[in-house]
Structure 1
Amino acid sequence: MRLLPASLWPRFLKRRMPTSLWGRSLLIIVLPVLVMQVAVTWAFFDMHWQTVTARLSDGLAGDIAWAAESWRDDPTPENMAVISERAERSMSLSVQLREGDVLPAENRRGPIGVVDRTLEKALATRLDQPFWFDTTRYPAYVDIRVQQPQGVLRVIAPRERAVATQAHIFVLWLTIATVLLMSVAILFIRNQVRAIERLADAAEAFGRGETSEHFKPHGAREVRAAANAFLAMRERIQRHIDQRTALLASVSHDLRTPLTRLRLELALAPPFKRSKAMEGDLDEMEHMIDEYLAFARGEAGEAAQAVSIPDLLSAAAEDVRRAGAEVEVVAPADLTATLRPLAFKRALTNLAGNAAAHGEHVRLSARALPSGGLELTVEDDGPGIPEDMHEEAFRPFSRLDASRNQNRKGVGLGLAIARDVARGHGGEITLERSDMGGLRALIRLPG
């Protein structure tokens, strides 16, 4: 396995660090606690548990060595009875001689190797004869056997004589305390992160033109200060939008009044040579005013509601068909989404009208995304737009005459309005080459 160079480790770790505030806050709490627990546990086992176990094993080995030496000094049944009685009374050991027996050939070791290694080291230091021991057969005892000329001297010792058996209690209490502390820390961190998430959700909803009346500042003092600042900013922006909407309504009325008078005077005037051209100029002026006002207003005040996507596409297609274009609609019959219908219809109509102006066939389609979002496309079989000019096409008042057959009607706001509407719904619009040969406008909305 190849190791990364030292210069790449910071980048490697950075890519694998949590990206959310919740994940990073949790890591700040969990990582030090885990490091502390590992360090304390290691220090306990290395400095305390192993030391105590070594001393206990050494003491047990000394008692077994005494029994073996006492038997060698006087290998009689009477002496064995004395040794057994003294070992049982003073050392809590069960000692017996198995005449003619030999040590088992198979060694049995426990899951914690340090216990067996410590006991083996102590017995090897104290005993001169071959020995065998088993720490796994009896949960509460240790079986130790020493080879003698007459047979095997078997000693059954309580486990606590060889091992510090209460170590797991310390580890258990350490684990319980760690879990409790981490739970409390996680609970507090989650409450603080939830406050920030609610603030982010409220800001995102306001960006889509939705106002959450139930949002209230809570959490830490700094989070509440940020939430109060957001609320104040939202009120100022909403007040500005309301004032601009009222101004635009007044401007719309003031601009349409002289246009209506001109149209009426033209209708009442006797026919003359330039009347048709003047009517066309009035139509174009009215269309231009509609586009200017739609771009400035942005339909931000419209409430979102559940909309049938096939019906929305059909309505936009019908507006384009009135201009003589051939429009195809492809969408599942049961597809719905929460949108601002008038704003989204204007965006689709602008895209479809733009496609119909530069192609003979237009297709409107929609589909649900696996992630729960929505994808809508408007494509044509026209000349398209060069890829390096896609971003330029979204700029207000950009007409791209050289690439789109001289836009004769409009002021270059169709794509700009469509992008504002898509972004106002939390989505995005992109341009790409269509399978029909022309341009494809792709709108993706989140679920």
Structure 2
Amino acid sequence: MSAFRHFLPRGLFARTLLIFVLPVALMQVAVVWSFFEQHWETVTSRLSDGVAGDIAMMTTLYEDDLADPEAFRRQADIAMTTMRLSVDFRPGETLPTARRTSFFRTLDRTLQRALSGQLEQNFWFDTTRYPNYVDIRVEVDGGILRYIALRERVFATTGNIFLLWIIGATTILTGVSVIFIRNQIKPIRRLADAAEQFGRGQDVAHFRPAGATEVRQAAHAFLKMRDRIRRQLEQRTALLAGVSHDLRTPLTRLRLQLALMPDTPEREDAKRDITEMQEMLDEYLDFARGQANEETARTDLNALVEDVIEDARRAGSHIDLVAGEPIEADIRPGSVKRSLSNLVNNAREHGENVAVSIRRADAGRIEILVDDDGPGIPPDQYENALKPFNRLDESRNPNRKGVGLGLAIARDVARGHGGEIRLSESPMGGLRACLSLPG
């Protein structure tokens, strides 16, 4: 069974159509084979035997009355009247050497067998020259006897009609199946599109359950899951936002108290601790906020990348931009900018030189590459580096600030757009972070 899996279609529409059409086609083939092999060939054989017997009789009568042309004409008239068989003597002619074969080879085989059984003379026939007649020639002394027989006397002509009826019925059944299956597949495709859009953070308020009962059940389950996920995201955002807001108040009071204290080394240490705590709170809030309340818009990615680089350059970093073709995409610009900023900030914290480039990849995807010349990350730590709250102190000469959410936020944004963040070794010697987005 596994050997046939490679030949089976992968799509649900194609597989369902195969389930409908294949049994019908096999049944029609079996019916056609049974009809032609049993009934049609038997009837045709009997008809051919009858015509072959008439031809054998007329040939024998001609040879008996070879010296009496008047008697032959009378016999030919009788054959035309009673047998619907045209007989003509062609003196001096010989049998043709070439013969065209009928599309239905069974016809030729049946007639060949019938004539061979009835005639001792050499013969030749053609079933293709005339649409409604069969040309049969028999070699006799002094020339050729040419017989023209009605096609319906030699073959059962209803076989072609039956075959056309079978093909027409199969075509109609296939067409009805295609229309029916397509209507059943549409709700499943809409459900898949809605799930894909929701996975990218887009609104799917237009989606309504439709289709068969099972598809409607799946659609209702999806809508319930969507509502649960939304509530969880809202609760997570509200929780961290509330914690952040509540902690900002005591931090502000501490800042005011430190501002009134004498300028001492301990005061500066305390100010740095408060600043670090503020940055942690901001990072927590960014991670919790994600892509909430931001609509998708057609955005110039080149301009967005340039804005991120300019912000980093104002902070005193050296960043090179590798210019490319203009590229636009449907994204949430604020989220993507936050994701790219995290990648650039991560690169400039651990490397002296940073390069950013944008390009089109396979399957219409878009890739934004951020390279640095820092110490890099071991390949077996790439996945850990993208996990929330993970600080690779040993490999990246530690995270001097934050709580290890920068790359996690970037990955969360990428996945929310149907993309991904991939880490690899940079041509500059450090780390390459690739932000992949659908085109």
TM-score by length of 2: 0.95
Change beyond 3 A, Cα 1:106–1:187: closer
* Matched residue, 2:311: 319
Mapped pair 1:421 → 2:413: yes
Asked if structure 2 preserves the Cα contact closer than 8 Å seen for 1:383 and 1:438, the reply is yes
Mapped pair 1:390 → 2:382: yes
Q: Which of residues 145, 149, 162 in structure 1 aligns to 2:141? A: 149
* Matched residue, 2:343: 351
Mapped pair 1:308 → 2:300: yes
* Matched residue, 1:59: 50
Q: Percent identity among equivalent residues?
A: 55
One-letter identity of the residue aligned with 2:87: V
Deviation at 1:235, TM superposition (A): 1.9
Q: How many residues align?
A: 438
Paired residue secondary structure (2:265): coil
Asked if structure 2 preserves the Cα contact closer than 8 Å seen for 1:321 and 1:327, the reply is yes
Deviation at 1:95, TM superposition (A): 0.7
Structure 2 unaligned runs (5+)? none
1:7-26 → structure 2 map (5 Å cutoff): 10-26=1-17
1:246-261 → structure 2 map (5 Å cutoff): 246-261=238-253
CA distance in 2, matches of 1:348, 1:207: 20
* Matched residue, 1:73: 64
CA distance in 2, matches of 1:43, 1:364: 71
One-letter identity of the residue aligned with 1:438: G
Q: Deviations over 1:339-396 (max 9, x none)?
A: 1222212211111111111100111211123532211111101111111111111122
CA distance in 1, matches of 2:432, 2:346: 11
CA distance in 1, matches of 2:26, 2:381: 55
CA distance in 2, matches of 1:241, 1:109: 76
* Matched residue, 1:39: 30
CA distance in 2, matches of 1:55, 1:441: 82
CA distance in 1, matches of 2:126, 2:7: 47
Asked if structure 1 preserves the Cα contact closer than 8 Å seen for 2:371 and 2:428, the reply is yes
Deviation at 1:80, TM superposition (A): 0.6
Q: Deviations over 1:303-350 (max 9, x none)?
A: 222222122212322333344221122344632212122221221111
One-letter identity of the residue aligned with 2:419: G
Deviation at 1:271, TM superposition (A): 2.1
CA distance in 2, matches of 1:71, 1:292: 112
Q: Deviations over 1:228-258 (max 9, x none)?
A: 1211221222233233333333222211111
Deviation at 1:100, TM superposition (A): 3.1
Which stretch shows the higher mean deviation, 235-244 or 161-170?
235-244
Q: Which of residues 230, 240, 256 in structure 1 aligns to 2:232? A: 240
Q: Deviations over 1:53-92 (max 9, x none)?
A: 1111111001101111222232211221121111110111
Mapped pair 1:281 → 2:270: no
Change beyond 3 A, Cα 1:182–1:333: closer
CA distance in 1, matches of 2:258, 2:310: 30
Mapped pair 1:176 → 2:168: yes
Deviation at 1:121, TM superposition (A): 0.8
Change beyond 3 A, Cα 1:107–1:311: closer
Asked if structure 1 preserves the Cα contact closer than 8 Å seen for 2:201 and 2:291, the reply is no
1:206-245 → structure 2 map (5 Å cutoff): 206-245=198-237
CA distance in 2, matches of 1:51, 1:302: 77
Change beyond 3 A, Cα 1:122–1:37: same
Mapped pair 1:105 → 2:97: yes
Deviation at 1:184, TM superposition (A): 1.2
Change beyond 3 A, Cα 1:147–1:234: same
Paired residue secondary structure (1:245): helix
CA distance in 2, matches of 1:235, 1:140: 74
CA distance in 1, matches of 2:412, 2:383: 14
CA distance in 1, matches of 2:280, 2:238: 20
CA distance in 1, matches of 2:98, 2:333: 83
Asked if structure 2 preserves the Cα contact closer than 8 Å seen for 1:309 and 1:331, the reply is no
Which stretch shows the higher mean deviation, 235-244 or 87-96?
235-244
* Matched residue, 1:365: 357
Mapped pair 1:83 → 2:75: yes
* Matched residue, 1:437: 429
Asked if structure 1 preserves the Cα contact closer than 8 Å seen for 2:62 and 2:72, the reply is yes
CA distance in 1, matches of 2:104, 2:163: 15
Change beyond 3 A, Cα 1:446–1:212: same
Q: Deviations over 1:152-171 (max 9, x none)?
A: 21111111111222212111
Q: Deviations over 1:109-142 (max 9, x none)?
A: 3333221121111011011111121222222211
One-letter identity of the residue aligned with 2:19: I
* Matched residue, 2:86: 94
One-letter identity of the residue aligned with 1:362: V
RMSD: 1.7
Which stretch shows the higher mean deviation, 428-437 or 342-351?
342-351
Deviation at 1:300, TM superposition (A): 3.2
Paired residue secondary structure (1:102): coil
CA distance in 2, matches of 1:424, 1:410: 23
